[in-house]
Structure 1
Amino acid sequence: MLALVKAENSAGLWLQQVARPIPAADEVLIQIRKTGICGTDLHIWNWDDWARKTVPVPLVTGHEYAGEIVEVGKLVSHLRPGMRVSGEGHIIDINSAAARAGRFHLDPNTRGIGVNRPGAFAEYLALPAFNVIPLPDEIDDELGAILDPLGNAVHVALSFDLVGEDVLITGAGPIGIMAAAVARHVGARNVVLTDVNPVRLALASRVADVVTVNPREMPLADVMSRLHIVNGFSVGFEMSGYNEALEQLIGAMEPGGRVACLGLPSGRISLDWSRIVCKGLFLKGIYGREMFETWRKMLNLIATGLDVRGIITHRLPVDRYKEGFQAMLAGDAGKVVLSWPA
């Protein structure tokens, strides 16, 4: 089958023929229709320090996808061929203390498809039936291929009560923009989204009802004054992974404010910790999606009108995958969706 493979210890991915996976007794085989390019895939493409330490070579990459079940293992009874599906990309060890307590997303032995085991940038994917998410008819394959990152956004946004609150989001990448859309959908009063990339700020304005700010051109304090935000933001989402953005967010929070942190820095960061302590801020780290509560709520949000399709800016056949990666690396894209042969 055709697949995008991290085939060498260097930057890039390679479109190659590899063996079609054989599903285990508790797995299904999914024929992939659409896949999304993720920020994690960019790390793997660039072959940075994290990728070199984490990803085995060779490996089929990719973990955002939608497709159709074509085969089920002998122990699988609740799924059948012909079902349209997406899936949770974190493969857990059900024997860990966290998993046995129902906190699957906190399992310390989690492995990621396309990161530690063969992924979805391929014509076929073998996936544990436990991880499969059937898609309702109103969610097409294109939207199904970006449910993984939308789930990250939903996990962040629903970490705190947002009704009537003022929310500051640092980082207008695709997940930051979708988190802004979710925040407004569930009732936030003001949502302010900061970034230094004008292309992403313009995209955010098209996708979500937000106030966009380039903090290098406009002081955040001026925006807060215009919006009558007196004591600071009650809720913050750090989505960029940049030290400067996190410092800005902490400085703009009200005493007792709550902060969800999804952005991963490329190295160590430096903070004035006394501001966190003296403001009594609550910081929560976010990794992936709550399994499977985030998925349930995400599908229901879409069913009640949440619209994030505008975050998809590039639609390409898989043989043009390099164009998609270059657009994302240049900061000129939202989500890039690749189509696979039928």
Structure 2
Amino acid sequence: MKAIIKAGPARGAELRMVDIPSIGTKDVLIKVKVCSICGTDLHIYQWNEWASNRIKPPLIFGHEFAGVIVEKGCEVPEVFSIDDYVSGECHVTCGVCAQCRTGQGHICQDYKILGVDFNGAFAEYVRVPYSCLWKNNPQVSPELASIQDPFGNALMTVSACDIRGKSVLVNGCGAIGLFAVIIARFYGASAVYAVDVNKYKLDLAKKLGAGYCLNPLETDVHAKIKELTEGLGIDVVLEMAGTEKSFDLAFKILKNGGHISILGIPDKPLMVDFADKVVFKGATLHGITGREIFKTWYQTAAFLNNPEVDITPVLTHRFTFENFREAFELMESGKSGKIVLYPDAIPK
């Protein structure tokens, strides 16, 4: 089969022919229809500090996908059948730690990640434990079915507190931030602000319904927010960028008693004045990792099945495996939304 492989400890990846994976008794083999590129995949491609400390090449990476089951192990329950149309939760949890046993598998003490800790979905076939499977509605396109993982990240970030009637600021408009704009509007935010240094992404946020799109390179965002909120600040900040400057802005613009949901991951430890920015402000900080398994998946499915919600504008580019390098370079340039990859030809 064809597979995109992180071959060694350096920038880039390779398209190779490799053996189709064999499955265990509790696994299924899935023929991949389409997969999508995550920011984590870009880090692996770039071989940044995180990737160099975590990834052990050679590795087939990628963890966002949709496909059909073509083989199943003897211990896979009958609820999953050959030809089922599925996607998968990328976190494989241990099932026995305190978090797993109390319904918090998304913060399992010993989880492994598809396409990070073992071979993933940038391939014609992928092996997945049945415990990670999600059956898709046949009416949902494979492209949309492949983005449930990152959409779930956005959904969990927005849902960390009740945003109805509150001002919400999305700090960082990558694909997950753009999904968050859609969700915040649908969940009844009184106003949705989008902040990013990238004009392409801000234009997408505007198209998706963000009422105020602000570029810190062109505008004093702190001053503008004070003006627009009559000095009060933002009720809920969704921190998606993970940079030192974005965190500094988040704390500055947060209203006293406000809430920050943090999904963005800084490249290095940050210094925060907790006394002034958190304690005296009465702020609530909520760290977000992954999705609630599988609670968030049910919520995501409800969005994808809702004709009033249009997520497709976030999916901006499509490439075949043969052109994967062009896809990663485009994503790195910042001039894209979500990019999807097809093992073979792109459907017309």
Q: TM-score, normalised by structure 1?
A: 0.97
Say whether the 8 Å CA contact 1:150–1:178 is kept in structure 2.
Answer: yes
Unaligned runs of 5+ in 1: none
Identity, % of aligned pairs?
A: 35
Change (3 A) 1:229 1:120: farther
Q: Deviation of residue 228 (structure 1)? A: 4.1
1:137 maps to what in 2?
Answer: 138
Q: 2:128 and 2:117 mapped to 1: Cα distance? A: 13
1:320 maps to what in 2?
Answer: 323
Aligned: 1:294 with 2:296: yes
CA distances 1:60-110 after superposition (whole Å, capped 9, x unpaired): 100011111111111112100111111100011011111011111010101
1:195 maps to what in 2?
Answer: 196
Say whether the 8 Å CA contact 1:180–1:210 is kept in structure 2.
Answer: no
Say whether the 8 Å CA contact 2:222–2:252 is kept in structure 1.
Answer: no
Q: 1:298 and 1:125 mapped to 2: Cα distance? A: 23
Which of 326, 329, 335 lines up with 2:338 in the alignment? 335
Q: 1:229 and 1:324 mapped to 2: Cα distance? A: 43
1:36 maps to what in 2?
Answer: 36
CA distances 1:163-197 after superposition (whole Å, capped 9, x unpaired): 11101121111111111110101110101010111
Q: Deviation of residue 234 (structure 1)? A: 1.1
1:308 maps to what in 2?
Answer: 311
Aligned: 1:167 with 2:168: yes
The equivalences for 1:72-87 within 5 A come to 72-76=72-76, 77-87=78-88
Letter of the structure 2 residue corresponding to residue 48 of structure 1? N
Q: Deviation of residue 303 (structure 1)? A: 2.2
Q: 1:332 and 1:158 mapped to 2: Cα distance? A: 28
Letter of the structure 2 residue corresponding to residue 151 of structure 1? G
Say whether the 8 Å CA contact 1:237–1:262 is kept in structure 2.
Answer: yes
Structure 1 runs of 4+ off > 3 angstroms? 221-230
1:217 maps to what in 2?
Answer: 218
Letter of the structure 2 residue corresponding to residue 283 of structure 1? L
The equivalences for 1:110-259 within 5 A come to 110-221=111-222, 223-224=224-225, 227-259=228-260
Say whether the 8 Å CA contact 1:327–1:333 is kept in structure 2.
Answer: yes
**1:97 alignment partner, SS class:** coil
Q: How many residues align?
A: 342
**1:69 alignment partner, SS class:** strand
Q: Which moved more, 1:22-31 or 1:299-308?
A: 299-308
Say whether the 8 Å CA contact 2:158–2:183 is kept in structure 1.
Answer: yes
Say whether the 8 Å CA contact 1:166–1:233 is kept in structure 2.
Answer: yes
Q: TM-score, normalised by structure 2?
A: 0.95
Letter of the structure 2 residue corresponding to residue 204 of structure 1? A
Q: Deviation of residue 237 (structure 1)? A: 0.6
**2:69 alignment partner, SS class:** strand
Q: Deviation of residue 276 (structure 1)? A: 1.3
Say whether the 8 Å CA contact 1:177–1:208 is kept in structure 2.
Answer: no
Say whether the 8 Å CA contact 1:166–1:229 is kept in structure 2.
Answer: no
**2:203 alignment partner, SS class:** helix
Unaligned runs of 5+ in 2: none
CA distances 1:257-302 after superposition (whole Å, capped 9, x unpaired): 1110000111122222222111011101111111011101111122
Aligned: 1:16 with 2:12: no
**2:176 alignment partner, SS class:** helix
Letter of the structure 1 residue corresponding to residue 331 of structure 2? M
1:88 maps to what in 2?
Answer: 89
Question: Aligned Cα RMSD in Å?
Answer: 1.4
Aligned: 1:282 with 2:266: no
CA distances 1:20-43 after superposition (whole Å, capped 9, x unpaired): 111211111110010101100111
Q: 2:65 and 2:124 mapped to 1: Cα distance? A: 11
Q: Deviation of residue 330 (structure 1)? A: 0.9
Q: 2:152 and 2:211 mapped to 1: Cα distance? A: 20
Say whether the 8 Å CA contact 2:194–2:210 is kept in structure 1.
Answer: no
**2:280 alignment partner, SS class:** helix
Say whether the 8 Å CA contact 1:26–1:74 is kept in structure 2.
Answer: yes
Letter of the structure 2 residue corresponding to residue 83 of structure 1? D
Q: 1:117 and 1:44 mapped to 2: Cα distance? A: 13
